[in-house]
Amino acid sequence: MKLYCLVTNNTVTEGPLPLSPTLSTLSDFELLDLGWYYAECIRPESFVDRTEVMNLQFDIQPRKVICTFVKRDKTQIELSAQNAEKQSEVEQDKTNRLDFAATFMASPEYTALPANIQAQWPIYMQTVTDTVTQELGDAIWDVGFPSPPPIDNTPVPSLPVVTDV
């Protein structure tokens, strides 16, 4: 897919992005007359969103814009802010799981479950409660919660076994 940049007064004001359906019917020369330059994008081979930031530099040429994506490591301030945001998300997830479990265990649907499924719910709640989510720093990204037990007695269908390959 071709990408384009809108150039106004020798400054990229939009892009790189795909053209709208209306603009995509025009030739590259007609697009140039409107300020839409073909965008040649140069990207790094790898990028790790969690630890790097991507900046975009433009080199406006007569018939195209060279868009160079330059990566840099996030600063400690950026990493700390990112970890704090993740911390908040993980805490909210934990609260939501515990609230749902408590509400479900007080419902008629829970009491209608067989005893073996009912017995899984307190274990689940305790596991979620015991999951450490405070003061983990960068390790907050590794926090995981177990899947909740079933909320009904619907048997899980077994997958067909493929023997011919």
| Domain presence at residue 157 | no
Query: Which of 21, 41, 73 is a domain's end point?
Result: 73
Residues 89 and 129 in one domain: yes
Residues 53 and 106 in one domain: no
Residues 43 and 80 in one domain: no
DSSP 77-125: HHHHHHHHHHHHHHHHHHHHHHHHHHHHHTSHHHHTS-HHHHTHHHHHH
Please tell me whether residue 24 adopts helix, strand or coil conformation.
helix
Residues 55 and 31 in one domain: yes
119 backbone φψ class: left, alpha, beta (φ>0; ψ -120 to 50):
alpha
Entry pTM: 0.61
Residues 20 and 56 in one domain: yes
**Boundaries of domain holding 120:** 76-142
| Domain presence at residue 154 | no
**Measured between alpha carbons, how far is 69 from 35 in angstroms, rounded to an integer?**
22
pLDDT in single tens digits along all 165 residues of the chain = 899 999 999 999 999 999 999 999 999 999 999 999 999 999 998 888 888 888 999 999 999 999 999 999 999 999 889 888 999 999 999 999 999 999 999 999 999 999 999 999 999 999 999 998 888 877 888 888 999 999 887 665 655 666 655
| Domain presence at residue 124 | yes
Residues 42 and 99 in one domain: no
68: its two tokens = 């160079």
Residues 117 and 84 in one domain: yes
Residues 93 and 134 in one domain: yes
Residues 55 and 99 in one domain: no
The number of domains in the chain is 2
Q: Residue 21: what pLDDT?
A: 94
Q: Which helix (H) or strand (E) holds 57?
A: strand 52-60
Residues 68 and 80 in one domain: no
Residues 138 and 94 in one domain: yes
In Å, how far are 55, 56, 67 from 3, measured between CA atoms? 17, 14, 10
Strands 11-17 and 3-8: antiparallel
Q: Residue 35: what pLDDT?
A: 96
What percent helix, strand, coil does the chain show, rounded to 5? 40, 25, 40
Name every residue whose Cβ is closer than 8 Å to that of residue 26 and which is 6 or more positions away in sequence: 34
